[in-house]
Every structure is written in structure tokens, then in C-alpha cells.
Chains A and B, each alone.
Chain A
């Protein structure tokens, strides 16, 4: 177990492993998202209140879930990097940040587009769910800016890992905002007590989209970690040997 862990943490080993695994994430992502989009747009019944406008849920919910998931991966990797001094963990955290920011942006934009006809507003300052999700986007921006501002990779890793860990508080607030305080945003549908409050015909495409987005994120993350590792290890022998070898990468 520990041996596997140590081998996984070695950059050249992970670099090769990630190349093997990335397509196995991309393929299920393609299949699940293709099914989810088709079933969500054409097979799922429309909502009794919202009509067809509810279908934006098939992008909004997976994006919002990944905005939080990516942050947790970033923070936990940062923590592992700090405690175990594992360089690969910092590379994973660095690679996850722009992906998380992209999904957060997508969640905010789709939510806003839905909010205009349904709630009657694009945006409401003061709503805890909306505001904390926006803060999450700013945390991602701050994290990336901090990394960009420090030239020394080891120092940038440490500083940004601390920032990511501090920001975990906001992730908890995003998740529980609709339970702790009154909010314009509706409460939990999928994680509701007593099971999801959703028609099965609507639910299965949504679950497919959530899973599909997760695989997509995994595939993109593996590819990004590969690039990150290659850049960080650019002065090492294994990279030079790999590039100079006739087979290339």
C-alpha cells in the first residue's frame, strides 16, 4: 500500500500512468454526457411549474457540484503537499484550479440565466448561496494569481496551499447556505431527506450528466497534471531523456 503510494508520487511514474488513464476517463465522459444531453433535452418530461426552462439544470447542477469538488481536490492536495512535502500533490492542486474556476463560472452563468425568467432577477446581492458561490470564484482567481505572483515554485506551492485550506470554510458555507439561512435559492433536491425530490425521468439524465461531468473533469485534470509535471520537471534527467529518445513521449 505505502509502496504504491510512493511510486504514485514519483513524477515520471505518474506522468506515464496519467497518459494511460486519461482516455479511460474521456470515453465514459463522452458516452454519459451524450446520453445525458439527449435524454435531458428530449426524453425528460417538462417541469410542472417551470416548463422547459428547468432543463438548464443538466448543466447547472453538475457544474456547481464540480466547482466544489475541484476546490476540495485542490485544498486536500495542497494539504498533502504541505504535510508530506509531496511535489506531485502541489502539481495536482495547481492543475485543478483553472478547471474549478471554469466550472464555478459555468454554474454562476447558468444559474443567472435561469434566475431571470424564474425568480425575476439575474442576480441578488445578499443571497447567501449566490454570494458564497461568487466568493468561491474569487478564491480560485486569488489562488491562481498568488501562484502566478511567486516565481519560486516551492514557495508558490506552500503559500497557495495555505490559501486553499483557508478557503475550505467557504466551501462549507456554499453547501449549507440554503439550510442555515433563508435564501432565494431552492434547497437540496438530490440530497434531500427521504430521497431525491425529482421525477425519475428527469433524475436519471441528471445523474448521468453529473457522472459524465465528473469523468470529464478527471480526464482534463489528468492531462493538466501531465503538463504541469512536465513543466516543473523540465530540468530533470528523465524529461530530457524522454524528449531525446526516438519515441518521444
Chain B
């Protein structure tokens, strides 16, 4: 083998080796790499019990309730399969809306309500002009989505 080919092999093997090592490391830390836990996993009991964690999902349409004269807020979050009630006191980000993505940081109370101490809005990858969004909404109207009706048959696989 020429020295050039040896160097090529050395560089190639080093890069492949590092890639494999990184892949194994990331797999081992899979749970820690997740920014939030899915609702189905929370229902299943598959969440970190020793520390506060984040949940992520969509705010169920029509589920947001504000207590009169206070900043208490209750709503439900869904992953289109299971739902979890969330309670929060504080200021909300601009993008917090019913039917939109949300990430909540906090802990699960004994009564199965997630007590959030921080709410972040999660934006999706779609960018639309307001008129387009309106006309889309018109077409979708009438068709009941599980999101609107409340999720039934939660099946924490």
C-alpha cells in the first residue's frame, strides 16, 4: 500500500470509529437527550420520578380554563393518543394557543395533574400567510378531529 492510501485508510477508519462510538453513546443517553416526555409515556408511568421533567404535546381545543381574577390556568395536553391535565400559574408565551404545540416543565402531582412551573410554546415547521390559514381552516371545519372532541380510548402502548 502506498503511504497515501494508508493515510486515507487511517482517516476513514478513525471517522467511522468515532461515528460508531458517538452512536452508542447517544443511544445510551437516549432518555436524557429527549427534551420532553410524550404524554403516552407519562400515562404509562415511563417518566423520571426523581426529578422535574418536561412534557410536550398539543393543547386540547376548548380545554383552557382560567380562574376568575387570578393567573391560575388549567388545560389538557394531548399527543393525539392520551391526554394529561396541566395546571399552571404565570405568564404565557405569545404562541400559546389551543390546538398548538406546548412544552411544560414541572412535576406530576398525586392526583394525576401535571403541575407546571414553566410553559413554553412549541412552533411547528409550517409557515403560512393568514389568508391561506383561514381558507384551510374553512375546509377543515365540519370534520371533527379527535383533538376537538377530546381523545377517547387512550392506549399507552
Contact = CB atoms under 8 A, between A and B. Distances in A.
A48 B130 contact: yes
Interface in B54-94: 56, 91-94
Contact of B94 (A117, A172, A183, A197): A117
Contact of A48 (B7, B19, B33, B133): B133
B155 to A, nearest CB: 20
B11 interface: yes
B92 A79 contact: no
A35 interface: no
A120 B99 CA distance: 17
B35 A165 contact: no
B122 A48 contact: no
A128 B54 CA distance: 14
Interface in B75-133: 91-97, 100, 103, 119-133
Contact of B35 (A54, A79, A182): A182
B20 to A, nearest CB: 10
Given A83-B8, A181-B34, A199-B127, A49 B15 contact: no
Given A181-B35, A182-B34, A199 B128 contact: yes
Nearest to B132: A199
A169 B18 contact: yes
Contact of A197 (B22, B56, B103, B127): B127
A120 B121 contact: yes
B125 A197 contact: yes
B138 interface: no
B139 interface: no
Given A118-B121, A184-B35, A202 B4 contact: no
Contact of B100 (A49, A180, A202): A49
Interface residues of B, number: 43
Contacts of B154: none
B7 A83 contact: yes
Interface string A85-121: 1000000000000000000000000000000011111
B95 A79 contact: no
B35 A49 contact: no
Contacts of B14: 162, 165-166
Contacts of B131: 45
A199 B125 contact: no
Interface in A129-148: none
A241 interface: no
Contacts of B33: 128, 180-181
Contact of B122 (A85, A119, A192): A119
Contacts of A166: 14, 18
Contacts of B26: 173, 180
Given A82-B11, A83-B11, A121 B128 contact: no
A192 B38 CA distance: 22
B35 A128 contact: yes
A173 B21 CA distance: 13
Contact of A188 (B30, B93, B125): B125
A169 B16 CA distance: 10
A186 interface: yes
Interface string A168-191: 110011000000111110111100
Nearest to A196: B127
Given A162-B14, A192-B125, 5 more contacts: A45-B130, A47-B127, A128-B35, A181-B30, A189-B126
